[in-house]
Amino acid sequence: MIQKISRLNKISPDYFWAEEEIHKSVNQYRVSLGLNPLTLNAEISEVAREHSNNMANVIVPIGHQGFRERVQQIRTTFSVVSSAENVAWNFSSLEPCYVAFRGWVNSPGHQKNMVGDFNLTGIGVELGDNGSYYFTQIFIRTP
């Protein structure tokens, strides 16, 4: 089923590989339920990454503040039929990606987004100065 994800390394300036691990876990989960996998999109990931960075730097609170604006930004590139967003943060030093993913699976609202009728996704992961990991996953349905 779902594999545990290895520890993030603060040395890495970017967390593209961690974002890919979240993507892989979400797609494994979707496929295990008979759903189509999501395509990871670089432009949507940039928007998600910016939100994770803003949460990590306490520019915005942890949550969905500004989600409408993020979707509007995505609409400059894609025709968006529907959208959703999952955010998470944790202090797990061993498996922060796995902890975030399992938290989403075990939360009815987050899980609903993960299995929703979407075809694109973008994921952003940031590590804050306080040692917390911040995650944003945006789900998009295009025509």
Q: What is the pLDDT of residues 20-74, one digit of tens each?
A: 999 999 999 999 999 999 999 999 999 999 999 999 988 998 999 999 999 999 9
Cβ atoms of 8 and 15 within 8 Å: the answer is: yes
Q: Please report where in the chains the tokens 């911040």 appear, as a residue.
A: 134
Tell me, rounded to whole angstroms, the distance of Cα 115 from its chain centroid. 13
The pLDDT of residue 130 is 87
The pLDDT of residue 136 is 98
Q: How far apart are CA 107 and CA 96, in angstroms?
A: 17
Q: What percent of the chain has pLDDT over 90?
A: 78
Q: What is the pTM of this model?
A: 0.89
The pLDDT of residue 18 is 86
CA-CA distances (angstroms) from residue 49 to 4, 30, 35?
22, 22, 25
CA angle 114, 117, 121 (to 5 degrees): 55
Q: Which domains does the chain have, with CATH numbers?
A: 19-141 (3.40.33.10)
Backbone torsion region of residue 16, taken as left when φ is above 0, otherwise alpha when ψ lies between -120 and 50, otherwise beta: alpha
| Residue 1 clears pLDDT 80, i.e. is over it | no
Q: In what order do the strands lie in the sheet with 120-127?
A: 39-40, 120-127, 133-141, 82-90
